[in-house]
Amino acid sequence: MKFIHTADIHLDSPLSGLAAYKDAPADLLRTVTRDAFTRLVDEAIEEAVDFMVIAGDLYDGSWKDYNTGHFFCREMGRLNKAGIPVYLLFGNHDADSDMTKKLTLPPNVHQFESRKANTFRIDELKVALHGRSYKEAATVDNLAAGYPAPVAGWLNIGVLHTALEGYVAHASYAPCSLAELSAKGYDYWALGHVHEHAILQEDPWVVFPGNLQGRHIRETGARGAMLVTADESGIHSVERLLVDVLRWHEVDVDAGEANTLEEVVGRSRYRGEIFPTNLIY
C-alpha cells in the first residue's frame, strides 16, 4: 500500500516580504499554496495512493473566505472520484470553528475528533489511524498521552500536530517527547506543526513533512509531503514528494567586483546554487 502524509498547507495564506518588488509575478504569488496543493492531489492520483493524511493546519488562522473551503472541497472531490480517502486533523491554525463545522465535505474526508483521540480503521488494508484534532488554537495539553493502544497485527499510524520537545522556534502546542511517541507502539507518526522537513526516528518512524509551500525567506529550499510505502507488517519506504511551485533561496555571493544588482544575481547563477526560471530579487 501507499499513502501520502502532508501537513501545514495554510491554504490561501499570503507570501510575505515581496510587496516591495515591482516585478514580482502577482498572479502566481496569489495562488502558490493552492497550486502546490493541486500538485499534491495530482501526485496522489498518479501514484494511486490508498489514502492521504493531513496532520493539521490545512487552513491559515481565522478562515473567513468560503472560497478557500470550496477550493478544498473541489480537490477532495477529485480524490473521492479516484477512490482515495483523506484523514484530516485540525491543528492550532485551523482548530474547530463555526466555519469548518459548516463546510460540507465530500464523503471520502474523515475528520479526527477534538473531544478525545479516536481511531479510523481501514479494514481491507489492516490500517489503524489514531489522532485528535485541536479544540482551540492554544492547546497546551499533551494530546499524545491520550492516544489509544495500537491495533495488534495492523499498521498503526499516529496523527499529531505538535511542537515536540526541542523545537524552541515553534509555539509549544500539544507538547510531548520522542520517547513518549516511541512508547505508544505505533509504526509511523505523521506529525505536523514544524515547517521544516525532518525524519526524527525510523523505528518507529517519526516524521515532520514540513510545509507544502515556502511562504517567506525563512522557509527556504524544497517543500512538499511524504510518500510512504507499507503493509500491515510495517513501513517499507519513506520518500519526499516535492510539490512546491515557488522556492526561496539564501545565497552567499562575493559582490566585491559587481557594479549592479544584475551582476550580483549573475554571479549566483554561475556558482550553480540557483537555476531560476523566474527570479525575484
On whether both 75 and 184 belong to a single domain, the answer is: yes
On whether both 244 and 257 belong to a single domain, the answer is: no
CA-closest candidate to residue 42, choices 227, 268, 190: 227
Contact 61/97 with Cβ under 8 angstroms?
no
On whether both 133 and 241 belong to a single domain, the answer is: yes
On whether both 221 and 86 belong to a single domain, the answer is: yes
On whether both 56 and 166 belong to a single domain, the answer is: yes
On whether both 63 and 158 belong to a single domain, the answer is: yes
Strands (E), 7-117: 51-55, 86-89, 109-111
On whether both 19 and 45 belong to a single domain, the answer is: yes
Contact 144/162 with Cβ under 8 angstroms?
yes
The residues, ordered by sequence, that sit 6+ positions from 125 with a Cβ below 8 Å of its Cβ are 1, 50, 51, 155, 232
User: What is the Cα–Cα distance from 103 to 67, expressed in whole angstroms?
Assistant: 11
CATH number at residue 7: 3.60.21.10
Q: pLDDT by residue for the chain (281 residues), tens digit each? A: 999 999 989 888 766 555 555 555 555 666 888 999 999 999 999 999 999 999 988 887 666 677 888 999 999 999 999 999 999 999 876 776 556 677 889 999 999 999 999 999 999 999 999 999 988 767 778 899 999 999 999 999 999 999 888 654 555 788 889 999 999 999 999 999 888 899 999 999 999 999 898 676 666 678 899 999 999 889 999 999 999 887 766 666 666 667 787 777 666 655 555 555 554 44
On whether both 263 and 228 belong to a single domain, the answer is: no
- Name the pTM for this structure: 0.86
On whether both 210 and 273 belong to a single domain, the answer is: no
On whether both 111 and 78 belong to a single domain, the answer is: yes
- Residue 80 lies in domain: 2-248
How many domains is the chain partitioned into structurally?
2
On whether both 259 and 152 belong to a single domain, the answer is: no
On whether both 174 and 64 belong to a single domain, the answer is: yes
